[in-house]
Amino acid sequence: MNCFRSKIVIIGAGWAGFILSQQLNDTTYDITIIAPHQTFAYTPLLASAATGLFFSRLAEEPIRRAHRRTTYYRALATAADFTKQTVTCIPSVLQPSGRDVPDAEHPFTIEYEILIIAPGCVNQTFDTPGAAEHCFFLKTVPDAEAIKAKILSLLEVASLPTTTPERAKELLHVAVVGGGPTGVELSAELTDLFNEMSKTYPHLAGIPSITIHDVAPEILGVFHEKLKVHALQSFKKHDVEVKTNSHIEKIEEGALYTKEDGRISAGMVAWATGNKQCDFVDSLPGISRAARLGRILTDQRLRTLKEDQTVLENVYALGDAADIFGKSLPTTAEGQITVAVQKAEYLVKTLNRHPALPAKPFVYKQRRMVAYVGGTDGVIMGRQDWTGEAAWLAWRSGSLGWTRSWRRKGMIMASWAWNFIGGREIARK
């Protein structure tokens, strides 16, 4: 039995792809995973990782595993041929800096019998001049480490005898572009960090500042009114300035320019807005796409649809790269993981049974939405609205829920306890 294993190729090792890579039956399937980075990142933990709340290694999980018969290629998928059933990839080469650089000179092609497309989204800078070069992003663990290193460097430069207090203020001004959950969480974590830093850098007390810029008339667009008001009040208390209706015109080293205020000095500009499909998804031929963001459309069993809405056999799509035709699921950052995870678990169940057997359609179960707004304070949206301490606790335990491995849960808890006693990791580096 099972001398013949069907070849499954999974593109992407995010919330969706990682779960599939770990849970598909490796006795029945010959599983190949394609992802440009060797770990899966717990995205909700990245903001805390960036501000040194715990060792950033805890925010990721290796794709290669002992006791699993899977093949992993550190590469980017660049094209798929649905007729020949092949995927073309280019290697993603790890640099000493910790970054991955794609190597277009050495493409390779692999065959599949079942293809699972889950490459997520890539950040979008709307062609804002200078953004790609000068902004800090928060999508991967190396991104989080880069933010951490930059903050530490700014604190040290601001402490030099040659730095005037005015210059220190400019250096320690962090501008966050994007008032969605990611931007809000990063700002909240930064406030906490700066508050704590005032102990190790007492000479810089009161100097750091954070501004959130959003083009929209309000931040946290998806949350209930009451919760938004609470988040804003909390930011006021923590000296986070929120600039809504703010249009970013360009970014330079050390400054951003807005239509409303002109040049604003900032030691760091974090870009936390805008998603678009990766080039691979854009390149897929003959498939049906959602009006919103050009996501791949699937049927209710997550099978990719062709332009004429018929099923493309053996090609599944899920996560941020896909939508179900005729169904509206949460699309705000806060519900997306739940959707990605539930779809991945559904597909695991379907494929582990047998892909040819009739499957029940995917059904989404509503879960709560959480955003963190600094200190022991937070907002939660779900069955009932919570604010304050209870929400914070739920957020913390919620973020433990994200990390499925108990070893990691233990380590994260230990590092929170450690922070409580010993101050944040970043300070002791």
Ligand X SMILES: *[C@@H]1O[C@H](CO)[C@@H](O)[C@H](O)[C@H]1NC(C)=O
User: 137 touches which of ligand FAD, ligand X, none (CB within 5 to 8 A by kind)?
Assistant: ligand X
* 97 touches ligand X by CB under 6 A: no
* 340 touches ligand FAD by CB under 6 A: yes
Give least dist CB 21 to ligand X, A.
Answer: 14
Asked if 374 contacts 366 with a C-beta cutoff of 8 angstroms, the reply is: no
Alpha helix segments (H runs only) across 276-405: 279-283, 333-353, 389-402
- Per CB under 6 A, the list member of 101, 104, 132, 417 interacting with ligand X is 132
How many residues lie near ligand FAD (CB under 6 A)? 35
Give least dist CB 67 to ligand X, A.
Answer: 11
* 197 touches ligand FAD by CB under 6 A: no
Q: Extract the tokens encoding 383.
A: 């069955």
- Per CB under 6 A, the list member of 20, 34, 188, 296 interacting with ligand FAD is 34
How many residues lie near ligand X (CB under 6 A)? 13
- Per CB under 6 A, the list member of 24, 31, 118, 297 interacting with ligand FAD is 118
User: 359 touches which of ligand FAD, ligand X, none (CB within 5 to 8 A by kind)?
Assistant: none
Question: Among candidates 167, 29, 149, which has minimal Cα distance to 99?
Answer: 149
- Per CB under 6 A, the list member of 28, 38, 86, 265 interacting with ligand X is 28
* 12 touches ligand FAD by CB under 6 A: yes
Q: Extract the tokens encoding 175.
A: 């501008």
Q: What are phi and psi of 71, to 5 degrees?
A: -110, 135
- Give the x-and-dash track for 273-312 against ligand FAD (CB under 6 A): -----x-x--------------------------------
Residue placing its CB nearer to ligand FAD in the complex, 188 or 340: 340
- Give the x-and-dash track for 334-353 against ligand X (CB under 6 A): ------------------x-
Give least dist CB 328 to ligand FAD, A.
Answer: 16
Q: How far apart are CA 284 and CA 286, in angstroms?
A: 7
- Per CB under 6 A, the list member of 6, 25, 163, 265 interacting with ligand X is 25
* 69 touches ligand X by CB under 6 A: no
* 372 touches ligand X by CB under 6 A: no
CA angle 379, 382, 385 (to 5 degrees): 50
Q: How far apart are CA 278 and CA 11, in angstroms?
A: 12
Residue placing its CB nearer to ligand FAD in the complex, 257 or 364: 364
Q: How far apart are CA 267 and CA 173, in angstroms?
A: 6
- Per CB under 6 A, the list member of 37, 74, 139, 289 interacting with ligand X is 139
Give least dist CB 308 to ligand X, A.
Answer: 33
Which residues would be at the binding site for ligand X (CB under 6 A)? 2, 25, 27-28, 122-123, 125, 132, 137, 139-140, 143, 352
Which residues would be at the binding site for ligand FAD (CB under 6 A)? 11-17, 34-37, 43-44, 46-47, 76-77, 118-120, 138-139, 182, 278, 280, 319-321, 333-338, 340
